[in-house]
Amino acid sequence: MKDTGEKDLKAIVARRMEFFKKKPECAIYRPKVASKHISGLYTETAAREHLIKADYGEAAGGGNQAPNPIELLLAAFAACIESAFYEFAVHEGLNIRSVTAAVEGTLDLRGLFMIGDVAAGFQDLTYTLNIDSPDDEEKVRSLAEKVIGHCPVVDSLIKPTPVSGVINIIKADS
């Protein structure tokens, strides 16, 4: 999977690592998104200049126009381990021909529907990371395990993360 930007990516990773070691306060990243209900169960979310669409399947009452939010969470997990592995493999000088990831989980939908005392989140998540590389298998596996252990999406799913917010009720004049 040679990329014309591999040398740039290697330099970018090295430069960022060195910079964050010298200035840890600059490593604080606060991503944000803004989402808007469009119709039915369909929403559109802006992340930087990108539009992320979400909907539910028809069986769940949606229009099946896009992945549902929980599928987007799985997509974030897969994309994070895949791209982070590739990024650090390039940094380490490994030859990577391809990387793919598959992620699946188990949900008890009674939690979503507030039936009984059932948690709404995943009961489990499993991943398969496929790496095509001619390099030493143990070296590639070791890096993959290290990267997965430092993936911010995986870490956010594993550890309790404080969640807070504000709910604003807007009443339009009739």
Inform me whether the pLDDT recorded for 2 exceeds 70.
no
Of 22, 56, 31, 26, which is closest to residue 41 (Cα–Cα)?
Answer: 56
- What pLDDT score does 18 carry? 95
- Binned at pLDDT 50, 70 and 90, residue 173 comes out as confident
What is the percentage of the chain residues whose pLDDT exceeds 90?
93
- Binned at pLDDT 50, 70 and 90, residue 11 comes out as very high
**Using alpha carbons only, how large is the chain's radius of gyration in Å?**
20
- Binned at pLDDT 50, 70 and 90, residue 174 comes out as low
Q: Which string of b and e fits 76-114 if b means at least 16 CB within 10 Å?
A: bbbebbbebbbbbbbbeebebeebebebebeeeeebeee
**pLDDT (tens digit per residue) in 60-114:** 999 999 999 999 999 999 999 999 999 999 999 999 999 999 999 999 999 999 9
Q: Average pLDDT in the 115-130 region?
A: 96
Domains of the chain plus CATH, in order, are: 69-158 (3.30.300.20)
- What pLDDT score does 172 carry? 85
Question: Residues 99, 1: contact at Cβ < 8 Å?
Answer: yes
Q: Which of 4-18, 38-52, 65-79, 156-170 shows the lowest per-residue confidence on average (mean pLDDT)?
A: 4-18
